[in-house]
A and B are shown apart, each in its own frame.
Chain A
Amino acid sequence: MSGPKNHNPNKHSAAIEQLAQQLRRYERTLQPTAGGNGVLSTGIAALDGLLPDGGISRGMLLEWLSEKTGGGAGTLAFTVAVQLMRADGACVVIDPAASFYPPAIGKLGDDLQRMIVVHPANGGDALWALEQSLRCRGVAVVVCRLGQAFERELHHHAYRRLQLAAETGGAIGLLLRPARYRVHPTWADVRLLVEPLPTVNSSKGRQLQVELIHCRGRNCGGIVTLEIDDETGDVRLASGLATATNPVRRAAGA
Chain B
Amino acid sequence: MPLAEAKGLLETVSRSQSSSGGWGRPQEAPRVVPTEGSLRSTPATHPLLIRHQPADDIQALRELAVRCQRFSPVVGIEEPDSLLLDLTGCAHLFGGERKLSRQVQRCFEQRGFFIKTAIADSIGAAWAVAHFGRHQTEIVPAGQHESVLRPLPVKALRLTETVIETLAALDIRRIEQLLALPRASLPSRFGPEVIRRLDQASGEVSELITPIRPPEPVVAGREFEHPTGDHRALEVALQQLVEQIVGNLVQRQQGIQRLTVELKGALSECFAINFLRPCQSLSHIMELVLTQLERVVLTEKVAGLRVQAVATALLESRQTQLFAADDDPVAQRELEQLVDRMSNRLGKQRVVQSQLCPDPQPEFANRWEPLLDENERGNGGSVSPPVLPCSARPLCLQREPQAVEVTSRVPAGPPTYFHWKQTCYTVARYWGPERIETGWHRGRHVRRDYYQVETECGLRFWLFWRIGRADWFLHGEFD
Contact = CB atoms under 8 A, between A and B. Distances in A.
A28 B338 CA distance: 25
Given A114-B324, A198-B457, A75 B395 contact: yes
Contact of A196 (B334, B336, B457, B476): B457
Interface string A188-221: 0000000111110000101100000000000000
Interface in B386-405: 387-391, 393-399
A110 interface: yes
A69 B330 CA distance: 38
Given A70-B479, A112-B354, A233-B390, 8 more contacts: A100-B396, A116-B351, A116-B353, A119-B350, A204-B431, A228-B390, A230-B391, A231-B389
Interface in A57-107: 66-75, 78, 89-90, 92, 97-107
Interface of A: 66-75, 78, 89-90, 92, 97-107, 110, 112-121, 125, 128-129, 132-133, 136-139, 176, 195-199, 204, 206-207, 228-233
Interface stretch (B182-190, B221-229, B458-466): B458-466
A103 B391 CA distance: 10
B380 A102 contact: no
A102 B366 contact: yes
A116 B354 CA distance: 8
Given A89-B331, A230-B389, A110 B380 contact: yes
A136 B385 CA distance: 32
Contacts of B391: 204, 206, 228, 230-231, 233
9 contacts: A67-B457, A106-B388, A118-B342, A118-B350, A136-B338, A137-B331, A138-B328, A138-B335, A139-B335
Nearest to B454: A199
Interface string B402-436: 00000000000000000000000000110100000
Contact of A106 (B387, B455, B456): B387
B327 interface: yes
Contact of A90 (B323, B388, B396, B479): B323
Interface residues of B, number: 61
A203 to B, nearest CB: 11
B395 A100 contact: yes
A71 B479 CA distance: 5
B331 A138 contact: yes
Given A78-B395, A102-B366, A138-B334, A115 B390 contact: no
